[in-house]
């Protein structure tokens, strides 16, 4: 009897030794394995599931996946490889039920939602900028995302992770990820100082979480999930073979911080220190505006757009003979006839330190009754203005800065975040091409007519000038900042945008 017990204990000890050796051997072997590689031991006994896999939208009992958030394999069981399939799900039509749930490796056919986070209703916060990483170094992958820190002055953003526990993501366990991946670090940099950020990649949300939007003319963006390249948000484009382009002539956006779509306390124009946007002009419509915020035509306006209907090479001769965008020269071409009152309201004549920033107020548009040659490169003058009540305080005009039918990145920034007479710089595609010392900043914050793709002067015309027309083309990555953008930040923004637009 004793010999039998000894034999049994001996066998158990040998089995224990073998299992320990197998565990240590495989641990040494697969430590550091990445997604897609299943190690010998745990891949055998804890395989990935085949009943819950990537690419599915609907799950059981009315649950659906939200494809705008993370979907992929993690290691929340400490298996040593990413075998647990995790995704963001919610009850259809009930966004407050949103949560992160994992279908655990080795549990084929069992409940795929037992390992989960709190729901949005219970306080779990979500962000489109989410990722997974072992933040606390315990061998388990944590779910992280960029979040706005509540009650922080002037908006502050951090990468925050909810920690993976033994049986679920730990409730209320959010910690700061101080070493996020490089792409997340770039986004955190972009968030610094942002008052408004519409990406127009696959949604029409303000990522700065400060404004809401009203859509005019059924403007829409292609919301296909998981795409890697966008065409941006189209405005008033002509019909094409592309299914996502709807013919229209009245598309624009109106934004604001409250249901009345006003700017007042959360978004204060007097704090504006930088603008960044990608634009594509299908056509140079008259005085087309990328944005125009104000209280009506000629009342507290801050706007960015083009001058007139653009230029062509023949207007000043060969492009090589034309003035540089930074040359401050006055044209000798006869000016249009206009009244002193109109000239005062529509020129730099009412700025206390007036300089001639370009050919003003002459007509640089191509004659309407003459067809533009197809082989001539068309451009438009960039126009950025700041008004105080009914007085134009600053007009920045850059000759030939905007190309036709080509994506262009425009960044306009001050060099000083505190001064009320700062130097303004204009960057085109990441290059500083214009500088205006002694400029102005907006003085009013309460504005009620805040348009993207539309002018406050629309419908206003006179014997001297036609009415402003709607922007025709597309926009992407529209941002307003309450602090200056550095040259490095602008360069990184251009690089990020080129990837999203497929321009690399």
Distance spanning both ends of the chain, measured CA to CA: 79
pLDDT for residue 135 is more than 60: yes
pLDDT for residue 7 is more than 80: no
pLDDT at 328: 41
Residue with more model confidence, 358 or 122: 122
CA angle 494, 495, 496 (to 5 degrees): 90
Strands (E), 163-316: 175-176, 194-198, 212-216, 233-235, 252-256, 274-283, 289-294, 302-306, 311-312
User: b/e per residue, 268-302, with b = 16+ CB within 10 A?
Assistant: bbebbbbbbbbbbbbbbbbbbbbbbbbbebbbbbb
pLDDT for residue 9 is more than 80: no
pLDDT at 475: 98
pLDDT at 316: 45
What is the residue extent of each domain of the chain? 45-184, 193-501
CA Rg value for the chain:
29
Given pLDDT bands bounded at 50, 70 and 90, which one contains residue 104? very high
In eight-state DSSP terms, residue 169 is B
Among 37-41, 148-152, 293-297, 464-468, the range of highest mean pLDDT: 293-297
Six-digit token pair at 201?
A: 């990649």
Contact 252, 456 (CB under 8 A): no
pLDDT for residue 90 is more than 80: yes
Summarised one tens digit per residue, pLDDT across range 388-421 is 999 999 999 999 999 999 999 999 999 988 788 9
Backbone angles phi, psi at 341, to 5 degrees: -65, -45
Contact 304, 288 (CB under 8 A): no
d(CA 154, CA 428): 28
In eight-state DSSP terms, residue 418 is S
Residue with more model confidence, 273 or 334: 273
pLDDT for residue 331 is more than 50: no
pLDDT at 453: 97
Residue with more model confidence, 154 or 487: 487
Largest Cα span, the chain: 120
Backbone angles phi, psi at 97, to 5 degrees: -85, 0
d(CA 42, CA 48): 10
3-state helix, strand, coil in the chain (%, to 5): 15, 30, 55
- Topology of domain 193-501 in CATH is Jelly Rolls (2.60.120)
pLDDT at 5: 63
Summarised one tens digit per residue, pLDDT across range 233-274 is 999 998 754 545 545 568 999 999 999 999 999 999 999 999
Residue with more model confidence, 369 or 69: 69
H or E segment and range at residue 304: strand 302-306
User: b/e per residue, 124-134, with b = 16+ CB within 10 A?
Assistant: bebbbbbbbbb
pLDDT for residue 355 is more than 60: no
CA of residue 467 relative to chain centroid, distance = 31
Cβ contacts of 159 within 8 Å, gap of 6 or more = 144, 145, 146, 147, 176, 177, 180, 184, 188
Given pLDDT bands bounded at 50, 70 and 90, which one contains residue 13? low
Six-digit token pair at 99?
A: 């949560």
Summarised one tens digit per residue, pLDDT across range 423-451 is 999 999 999 999 999 999 999 999 999 99
Given pLDDT bands bounded at 50, 70 and 90, which one contains residue 304? very high
Six-digit token pair at 499?
A: 């990837």
pLDDT for residue 183 is more than 60: yes
pLDDT for residue 295 is more than 80: yes
Q: What is the DSSP string of 96-125?
A: EEEEEEEE-TT-TTS-SSSEE---TTTT--
pLDDT for residue 341 is more than 80: no
Six-digit token pair at 73?
A: 């394999």
pLDDT for residue 66 is more than 70: yes
CA angle 29, 30, 31 (to 5 degrees): 100
Summarised one tens digit per residue, pLDDT across range 202-223 is 999 999 999 999 999 989 899 9
Q: Of 289, 270, 273, nearest to 281 (Cα)? A: 289
User: Stretch 142-151: mean pLDDT, rounded?
Assistant: 93
pLDDT for residue 372 is more than 80: no
pLDDT for residue 472 is more than 90: yes
Q: pLDDT over 90 for what percent of the chain?
A: 65
pLDDT at 108: 87
Average pLDDT taken over every residue of the chain? 83
User: b/e per residue, 423-458, with b = 16+ CB within 10 A?
Assistant: ebbbbbbbeebbebeebbbbebbebbbbbbbbbbbb
Burial of 368 (0-12, 13-18, 19+ CB in 10 A): exposed
Measured over the CA atoms of residue 43, residue 44, residue 45 and residue 49, the dihedral's sign is: positive
Q: Of 97, 84, 54, nearest to 164 (Cα)? A: 84
d(CA 148, CA 399): 39
User: Stretch 131-160: mean pLDDT, rounded?
Assistant: 93
Q: pTM of the full predicted structure?
A: 0.80
pLDDT at 39: 54
Contact 80, 31 (CB under 8 A): yes
Measured over the CA atoms of residue 34, residue 40, residue 45 and residue 50, the dihedral's sign is: positive
pLDDT at 154: 77
Summarised one tens digit per residue, pLDDT across range 111-134 is 999 999 999 999 999 999 999 999
Residue with more model confidence, 384 or 224: 384
Contact 263, 272 (CB under 8 A): no
d(CA 319, CA 485): 30
Contact 470, 250 (CB under 8 A): yes
Lowest mean pLDDT among 13-17, 115-119, 409-413, 477-481: 13-17
- 3-state DSSP call for residue 279? strand
Q: Which residue is listed with tokens 């922007």?
A: 471
pLDDT for residue 339 is more than 90: no
User: Stretch 166-177: mean pLDDT, rounded?
Assistant: 92
User: Stretch 170-183: mean pLDDT, rounded?
Assistant: 94
pLDDT for residue 366 is more than 90: no
User: Stretch 78-106: mean pLDDT, rounded?
Assistant: 95
């Amino acid at each position: 009897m004793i010999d039998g017990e000894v034999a049994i204990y001996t066998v158990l000890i040998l089995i224990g030794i073998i299992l320990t050796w197998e565990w240590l051997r495989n641990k040494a072997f697969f430590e550091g394995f990445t997604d897609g590689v299943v190690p010998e031991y745990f891949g055998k006994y804890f395989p990935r599931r085949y009943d819950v896999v990537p690419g599915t939208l609907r799950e059981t009992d009315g649950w659906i996946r939200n494809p705008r958030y993370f979907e992929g394999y993690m290691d929340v069981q400490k298996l040593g490889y990413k075998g647990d399939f995790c995704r963001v799900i919610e009850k259809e039509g009930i966004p407050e039920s949103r949560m992160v749930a994992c279908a655990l490796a080795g549990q084929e056919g069992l409940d795929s939602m037992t390992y989960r986070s709190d729901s949005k209703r219970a306080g779990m916060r979500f962000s489109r900028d989410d990722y997974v990483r072992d933040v606390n170094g315990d061998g388990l992958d944590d779910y992280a995302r960029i979040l706005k820190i509540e009650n922080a002055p002037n908006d502050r953003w951090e990468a925050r992770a909810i920690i993976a526990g033994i049986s679920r993501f730990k409730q209320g366990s959010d910690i700061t990820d101080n070493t996020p991946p490089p792409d997340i670090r770039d986004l955190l940099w972009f968030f610094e100082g942002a008052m408004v950020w519409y990406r127009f990649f696959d949604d029409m949300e303000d990522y700065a979480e400060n404004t809401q939007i009203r859509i005019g003319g059924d403007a829409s963006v292609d919301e296909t999930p998981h795409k890697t390249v966008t065409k941006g948000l189209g405005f008033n484009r002509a019909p094409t073979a592309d299914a996502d382009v709807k013919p229209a002539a009245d598309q624009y956006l109106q934004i604001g911080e409250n249901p009345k779509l006003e700017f007042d306390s959360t978004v204060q124009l007097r704090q504006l220190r930088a603008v960044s946007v990608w634009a594509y002009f299908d056509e140079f419509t008259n005085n087309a505006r990328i944005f125009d915020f104000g209280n009506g035509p000629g009342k507290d306006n801050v706007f960015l757009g083009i001058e007139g209907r653009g230029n062509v090479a023949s207007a000043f001769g060969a492009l090589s003979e034309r003035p540089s965008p930074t040359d401050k020269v006055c044209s000798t071409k006869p000016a249009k006839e206009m009244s002193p009152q109109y000239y005062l309201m529509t020129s730099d004549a009412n700025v206390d330190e007036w300089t001639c920033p370009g050919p003003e107020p002459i007509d640089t548009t191509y004659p309407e009754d003459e067809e533009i040659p197809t082989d001539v490169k068309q451009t438009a003058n960039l126009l950025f203005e700041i008004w105080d009540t009914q007085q134009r305080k600053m007009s920045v005009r850059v000759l030939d800065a905007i190309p036709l039918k080509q994506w262009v990145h425009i960044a306009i920034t001050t060099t000083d975040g505190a001064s009320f007479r700062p130097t303004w710089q204009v960057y085109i595609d990441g290059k500083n091409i214009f500088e205006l010392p002694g400029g102005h900043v907006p003085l009013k914050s309460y504005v009620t007519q805040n348009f993207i793709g539309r002018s406050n002067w629309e419908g206003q015309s006179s014997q001297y000038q036609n009415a402003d027309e709607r922007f025709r083309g597309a926009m992407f990555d529209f941002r307003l900042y309450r602090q200056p953008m550095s040259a490095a930040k602008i360069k990184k923004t251009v690089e990020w945008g080129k990837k999203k637009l497929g321009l690399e």
